[in-house]
Amino acid sequence: MNQYDKSVSSHASINTLSARHVAVKVITNILLQQGSLSTQLARHQLDIASEHAPMLKELCFGVCRQYPRLNSIALHLLAHPFEEKDTDLYAVLLLGLYQLTYMNTPDHAAVNETVEACRILKKDWATKLMNAVLRRYQREADDIIEVLEAQPSVEFNMPKWLVKRFNKHWPEHLEDIIEASNTHPPMCIRINESLVSRETYKSQLADLGIGSEDGKFSESALYLRNAVRVGELPGFDAGYVSVQDEAAQLSAHILSPKDGDKILDACAAPGGKTGHLLEKANATGLSSMALTAVELEPWRMEKIESNLQRLGYSANLICADASNLEAWWDGEHFDKILLDVPCTATGVIRRNPDIKINRKPADIEDLVTIQRAILNRVWETLKPGGFMLYATCSLMPEENEQQIQYFLANQEDASEVPLNSLAPSFATEWGIPVSHGRQLFPTSEGHDGFYYCLLRKKAQL
Ligand SMILES: C[S@@+](CC[C@H](N)C(=O)[O-])C[C@H]1O[C@@H](n2cnc3c(N)ncnc32)[C@H](O)[C@@H]1O
């Protein structure tokens, strides 16, 4: 090993160690159900130097993405599972197994770091155990994995209950859903068409050596052949582009803001679709579109503010429970409403792999109840003759077509309309038609899983 190699490897080991230390905290909190991966990463990102951030992300996303496999391996290796008070040790073990199985970390370094992590946690009693477990895995990994592959959770790298649900609802799409949900999503950007055309921006990217391809369904979407940091995207700070999945971009194209429209974005944070609606309005030179964005969580509200600030737009921002009209609504009806409700996010597991750890079957019922309450109340704020776009990033029919079926059966003044009603030139060949609305499945090289249904309030007689 030459001097340069030595210095790189010593830096790599310092980076890994420090990122690893924070990763233990993040994974422990996720296992203890104390918030999502994105919340945890945001909270702990400042605990480490910025150059360690990519390693922290790799470790945390990696463990979550591979959790069903790693969890089965860990339980197979341990004679007794760790007690809840030692969840941090379980996180240490999962990280060690992740490094041994999926990273280029030399085996001895992965084992040493895992053992050292027990000392850092002041649980020296576990060092021998951890050493023995990882050394056994080193010796027997192939045999262990072969035995465990018989379990659906290991075969599909997905919790068993989710495999069963996907198979029950979408048997002919099962393999594609699983494959897409287990991959890294491609980087998709949204071009701000009020500032630059997709063609022009694409050639600006090409000049910088960044290859891209047009989205097939959203006219504002570009897929980058290789992910880049947002700072490398020309004009990012000036609002020329945003990072947004192609399926998510369909909302603004479907709602197609018109001059004079009063629009509500009822579950708005982090404001991706809010920004797109405002861009669309500006691209068509609309002067008098008014947008109100409602969001429940104050800390997520700040994300809408910073997103709009970057894009240079403003909206009427309200922090409130959208279903509590008494708290936020002034009684003026809206022409169009986007209702992008909280959901199981089962169409975006690849972006939120902690779903594999934390999502439970009972969440579906709970979320359906919340969605129903928001849908019923927010409907009151829609003008007769007005349109509401109901959206989720879920693959569960209970949250999608069945939710709408129940709504239509109980809401006499509601009807479903074709998704291109507001923009007839807008193609709707994406996804598949379901009993109400359209369902998109995640695709490996393309868009996320999504659901859309467009509703209209009957005009008063
Ligand atoms: C699927 S996300 C919305 C994503 C957003 N439309 C975008 O494109 O960036 C759902 C949002 O609804 C918010 N939310 C949940 N319950 C709510 C409620 N009762 N009222 C308003 N917002 C709510 C969540 O905090 C979350 O930010």
What percentage of the chain exceeds 90 in pLDDT?
A: 89
Flag whether pLDDT at 383 surpasses 90. yes
User: Which residues fall in the annotated binding site?
Assistant: 267-273, 295, 321, 340
Could you tell me if the CB of 321 is within 6 A of ligand 1? yes
393 an active-site residue? yes
Q: Given the structure tokens 């737009």, which residue do they identify?
A: 313
Could you tell me if the CB of 297 is within 6 A of ligand 1? yes
Could you tell me if the CB of 294 is within 6 A of ligand 1? yes
| 57 Cα–ligand 1 center, Å | 24
| 393 Cα–ligand 1 center, Å | 12
Whose Cα sits closest to atom 6 in ligand 1? 268
Question: What's residue 284's pLDDT?
Answer: 78
Nearest atom (ligand 1) to Cα of 248: 8
Question: What's residue 16's pLDDT?
Answer: 46
| 317 Cα–ligand 1 center, Å | 13
Q: What domains are there in the chain, each with its CATH number?
A: 3-153 (1.10.940.10), 186-244 (3.30.70.1170), 247-457 (3.40.50.150)
Nearest atom (ligand 1) to Cα of 265: 6
Cα separation, 375 vs 252, whole angstroms: 19
**Residues β-bridged to residue 291:** 263
Could you tell me if the CB of 245 is within 6 A of ligand 1? no
Identify the band that residue 171 occupies on the pLDDT scale cut at 50, 70 and 90.
Answer: very high
Could you tell me if the CB of 159 is within 6 A of ligand 1? no
Nearest CA-CA partner of 393 in 242, 183, 181, 192: 181
| 433 Cα–ligand 1 center, Å | 25
| 46 Cα–ligand 1 center, Å | 25
Could you tell me if the CB of 268 is within 6 A of ligand 1? yes
Flag whether pLDDT at 382 surpasses 70. yes
Average pLDDT over residues 193-197: 95
What percentage of the chain exceeds 70 in pLDDT?
A: 96
Identify the band that residue 254 occupies on the pLDDT scale cut at 50, 70 and 90.
Answer: very high
Structure tokens at 383: 């003008």
Question: What's residue 8's pLDDT?
Answer: 33
The single residue of 60, 64, 188, 393 carrying the catalytic annotation is 393
For the packed helices 37-44 and 53-65, what is the interaxial angle rounded to 10 degrees? 160
**Residues β-bridged to residue 339:** 390
Whose Cα sits closest to atom 2 in ligand 1? 342
In tens, the pLDDT along 18-27 reads 799 999 999 9
In tens, the pLDDT along 255-281 reads 999 989 999 999 999 999 999 999 999
Could you tell me if the CB of 234 is within 6 A of ligand 1? no
Identify the band that residue 410 occupies on the pLDDT scale cut at 50, 70 and 90.
Answer: very high
User: Which residues fall in the annotated binding site for S-adenosyl-L-methionine?
Assistant: 267-273, 295, 321, 340
Question: What's residue 287's pLDDT?
Answer: 65
Nearest atom (ligand 1) to Cα of 343: 1
Flag whether pLDDT at 110 surpasses 70. yes
Nearest atom (ligand 1) to Cα of 345: 1
Structure tokens at 123: 């649980």
Nearest atom (ligand 1) to Cα of 273: 8
Nearest atom (ligand 1) to Cα of 391: 1
Could you tell me if the CB of 275 is within 6 A of ligand 1? no
Question: Are residues 233 and 189 in contact, defined by beta-carbon separation less than 8 angstroms?
Answer: yes
Whose Cα sits closest to atom 11 in ligand 1? 267
| 224 Cα–ligand 1 center, Å | 27
Could you tell me if the CB of 296 is within 6 A of ligand 1? yes
Identify the band that residue 4 occupies on the pLDDT scale cut at 50, 70 and 90.
Answer: very low
Whose Cα sits closest to atom 1 in ligand 1? 342
Identify the band that residue 7 occupies on the pLDDT scale cut at 50, 70 and 90.
Answer: very low
Whose Cα sits closest to atom 27 in ligand 1? 269
Rounded to the nearest integer, the mean pLDDT of the chain is: 94
Question: What's residue 286's pLDDT?
Answer: 66
| 138 Cα–ligand 1 center, Å | 44
Ligand 1 site-directed mutation target among 36, 295, 399, most atoms within 8 Å of CB: 295
Could you tell me if the CB of 273 is within 6 A of ligand 1? yes
Nearest CA-CA partner of 95 in 70, 120, 123, 116: 70
Nearest CA-CA partner of 367 in 389, 345, 344, 348: 344
